[in-house]
Structure 1
């Protein structure tokens, strides 16, 4: 998993509440277990017209936001069914951080396991970030995980809270497999001890 410490990029405003995982990545894109290529299906029902062409009204199709790395979203982001393809699609598109007032629990947990930082802010702070993001190409926002701060284009700072263990995993780039592999030496010592004590197992 890619490490996350600092991120500076364009923030795209998605002023929609209750965006569920089916909106994030519709079910027709769930036939693969690969994590790559899903960016094309991100927000497909909102992003594309019936003929498959881009809908110019959707935020990520607008020139200023095509390379967004931060998403500022409405309340209760990631609700609905539990599908890990949702953070995979965000990551494949290039989104490394999602900011909202609240997230569905499973989606929130899946973000950390895939190198995406979900940040919870107050409604007042979210409104400030929407204002920043709506500046288009000038909507560059910086996220400092070490300091736990979001900085807007005018330099104002918003502090955010995060669980210390999850912060550590993001900073070190450790998913569940990585956490296990970090204990390889201890696992090998245990297996050797068990093999010596119970050679018949």
Structure 2
């Protein structure tokens, strides 16, 4: 998993509440178990019309936001089914931070496991950041995970909270497998002892 330390990029505004995982990545795109290639179908039903043409008014189709790295969203983001393809699609598009007043629990946890930083902030603060994000190409923000700060386009700073263990994992690029591999030597020592003391179990 790629490390997350400091992220600077354009923030795209998505002022919609209850964005569920089917809106993020519709069910017909869940056939793959690869984490790549889903970005083109992120928000598919909002980004494209019935003929597959881009909807010009959708935020990620606008020139200023095509390379957005941050998403400022409405309340209860990521609700619905628990599909991990949702953060995969967001990450594959290039977005590494989602800011919202609240998130669905499973989606929130899946973000950390896939290198995305979900930031919860009070509604009034999100409203301010949403207005910043509406400034198009000028909507550049910096997310500093180490300092737990968001620097707004005007230079103002917003502090945010994050669980210390999840912060450690993001800063060091550790997903569940990475955390396990940190104990590789201990696991190998245990298996060696097991083969010696109880060889029938290791057969």
* TM-score interval, normalised by the smaller of the two chains: over 0.9
- CA distance in 1: counterparts of 2:198 and 2:26, whole angstroms: 51
Q: Deviations over 1:66-114 (max 9, x none)?
A: 0000000000000000000000000000000000000000000000000
Partners of 1:46 and 1:16 lie apart in 2 by 12
Tell me the CA shift for residue 200 of structure 1: 2.1
Name the structure 1 match of 2:73.
73
Q: What is aligned with 1:118?
A: 118
The match for 1:192 is 192
Matched, 1:129 2:129: yes
Q: List, as ranges, runs of 4+ consecutive aligned residues in structure 1 with deviation greater than 4 Å.
A: none
Q: Bigger CA drift: 185-194 or 83-92?
A: 185-194
TM-score by length of 2: 0.98
Tell me the SS of whatever aligns to 1:110: helix
- 1:198 Cα offset (Å): 1.1
Aligned residues: 201
Range 191-200 or range 14-23, more displaced: 191-200
Any idea what SS the aligned residue of 1:200 has? helix
RMSD: 0.6
Paired residues for 1:1-201 under 5 Å: 1-201=1-201
Gaps of 5+ in 2: none
Aligned counterparts of 2:125 and 2:157: Cα–Cα separation in 1: 10
